[in-house]
Chain A
Amino acid sequence: MLILTCPNCGIAADETDLAPGGEAHITRHGPEASDDEFEGYLFHKRNPKGVHFERWRHAFGCGKWFHAARDTATLEVFGTYPAQTLEPPKALQALIRKKRPDWEGFQK
Chain B
Amino acid sequence: MSTRLADTGRLIDRTKPLEFRFNGKRFKGFAGDTLASALLANGQVLVGRSYKYHRPRGIIAAGPEEPNALVGLGREGRFEPNQRTTTTELFDGLYATSQNHWPSLEFDVGAVNRVMSRFFPAGFYYKTFMFPRFAWKHLFEPVVRQAAGLGKPPKHRDADRYEYFYYHSDIVVIGGGIAGLQAALQAGRAGVKVLLVEQTAHWGGRAPVDGAKIAGKPAADWVAGAVAELQAMDNVTLRNRTMGAGVYDHGYLTAYERLSDHAPEIPGPRHRLWRIRARRIITATGAIERPLAFAGNDVPGVMLAGAVRDYVTNFGVSPGDRTVIVTNNDDAYRTAIALKQAGLVVPAVIDARDSADGDLPARARKLGIRVDTGKAIARVSGNKKVEGVSICMQAGEGSALEEIKCDAVAMSGGWSPVVHLWSHCGGKLDWDRDHAMFRPDPNRPPTGADGAGFVIAAGTANGHLDTASVLADAHEAGRRAATETGGKPADDTAPQAAGEAAAPMLPVWQMPQGASKKLQMKAFLDYQNDVKVSDVRLAAQEGYESVEHTKRYTTLGMASDQGKLSNINGLAILADSLNADIPAVGTTTFRPPYQPISFGAIAGDARGDLFKPVRRTPIHDWLDANGAHWEPVADWRRPYTLQKPGESVKDAVRREILNTRQNVGLLDASTLGKIIVKGPDAGRFVDMLYTNMMSNLAIGKCRYGLMCSENGFLSDDGVVARLSEDTFLCHTTSGGSDRIHAWMEEWLQTEWWDWKVYTANVTEQWAQIGIVGPNARKVIEAMGVEGMDVSREAMPFMTFQDGSIAGITARAFRISFSGELSYEIAVPASQGRAFWDAALKAGAAHGIQPYGTEALHVMRAEKGFIMIGDETDGTVIPQDLGLHWAISKKKADFLGKRAQQRSFMRDENRKQLVGLATEDPAVVLPEAAHAIEGPKRDNGMENIIGHVTSTYYSPTLNRSIAMALIKGGSRRMGEVLSFPVGDGKVIRAKVVDPVFLDKDGERQNA
Contact = CB atoms under 8 A, between A and B. Distances in A.
B902 interface: yes
Contacts of B711: 42
Contacts of A3: 250-251, 277, 449
Contacts of B696: none
A75 B898 contact: no
B396 interface: no
Contacts of B899: 38, 42
A65 B750 CA distance: 7
A31, A35, A83, A84 — most chain B CB neighbours (10 Å) = A31
B146 to A, nearest CB: 41
Interface residues of B, number: 27
Given A42-B711, A57-B742, A57-B746, A84 B897 contact: no
Most buried by B among A21, A35, A76: A76
A46 interface: no
Given A30-B893, A75-B448, A64 B749 contact: yes
B250 A75 contact: yes
A82 B62 CA distance: 55
Contacts of A76: 447-451
A31 B897 contact: yes
A55 B750 contact: yes
Interface in A1-38: 1-3, 14-15, 19, 21, 28-31, 33, 35, 38
A63 B251 CA distance: 25
A83 B897 contact: no
B991 to A, nearest CB: 33
Contacts of B277: 3, 14
Nearest to B447: A74
Interface residues of A, number: 29
B920 interface: no
B252 interface: yes
Contacts of B781: none
A63 B449 CA distance: 22
For B249, B250, B447, B753, which residue has the most chain A Cβ atoms within 10 angstroms? Answer: B250
B726 interface: no
Given A2-B250, A42-B711, A59-B742, A35 B448 contact: no
Nearest to B250: A3
Contacts of A35: 902
Interface string B749-781: 111010000000000000000000000000000
B295 to A, nearest CB: 46
A99 interface: yes
Interface in B241-271: 248-252
Interface string A87-107: 000000000000100000000
Interface string A60-90: 0001110000010011110000011000000
Nearest to A29: B898
Contact of A38 (B251, B451, B742, B898): B898
B746 A21 contact: yes
B449 A75 contact: yes
A1 B252 contact: yes
B302 to A, nearest CB: 42
- Chain A CB within 10 Å — which of B447, B711, B750, B898 has the most? B750
B443 interface: no
B297 to A, nearest CB: 41
B710 A42 contact: yes
B451 A99 contact: yes
B903 to A, nearest CB: 8
A31 B898 contact: yes
Contacts of A84: 749-750, 753
Interface string B960-994: 00000000000000000000000000000000000
B252 A83 contact: no
Nearest to A25: B750
Nearest to B891: A31
Most chain B beta-carbon contacts within 10 A, residue among A21, A59, A64, A74: A74
B745 interface: yes
B901 interface: yes
A24 B360 CA distance: 64
Contact of A1 (B250, B749, B897): B250
B892 interface: yes
Given A63-B745, A76-B450, A1 B248 contact: yes
A19 B892 CA distance: 31
Given A38-B898, A42-B711, A63-B745, A2 B753 contact: no
Interface in B211-243: none
A65 B746 contact: yes
B814 to A, nearest CB: 34
Interface string B888-917: 000011000111011000000000000000
Given A31-B897, A57-B742, A77 B449 contact: yes
A36 B759 CA distance: 34
Contacts of A15: 249
Nearest to A75: B249
A74 B451 contact: yes
A33 B449 CA distance: 39
Given A2-B250, A2-B449, A3-B277, A33 B898 contact: yes
Contacts of A21: 746, 750
Nearest to B892: A31
A38 B901 CA distance: 11
Interface in B447-461: 447-451
Contacts of B902: 35, 38
Contacts of A29: 898
Contacts of A55: 750
Nearest to B749: A65
A28 B746 CA distance: 13
B249 A1 contact: yes
Contacts of A1: 248-250, 252
B901 A83 contact: no
Interface string B452-489: 00000000000000000000000000000000000000
A15 B248 CA distance: 12
B454 to A, nearest CB: 10
B749 A83 contact: yes
B887 to A, nearest CB: 13
B423 to A, nearest CB: 15
A106 B854 CA distance: 54
Contacts of B250: 1-3, 75
Between B746, B898, B901, the greatest number of chain A beta carbons within 10 A of the residue's beta carbon is seen for B898
Contacts of B893: 30-31
Nearest to B446: A75
29 contacts: A1-B248, A2-B250, A3-B449, A14-B277, A15-B249, A28-B710, A30-B893, A30-B897, A30-B898, A31-B893, A31-B898, A31-B901, A33-B898, A38-B899, A38-B902, A42-B711, A55-B750, A57-B745, A59-B742, A65-B749, A65-B750, A75-B249, A75-B447, A76-B447, A76-B451, A83-B750, A84-B749, A84-B750, A99-B451
Interface of B: 248-252, 277, 447-451, 710-711, 742, 745-746, 749-751, 753, 892-893, 897-899, 901-902
Given A57-B742, A63-B745, A64-B749, 13 more contacts: A3-B251, A19-B742, A31-B898, A38-B902, A57-B745, A57-B746, A65-B750, A74-B451, A75-B448, A76-B449, A77-B450, A83-B753, A84-B753
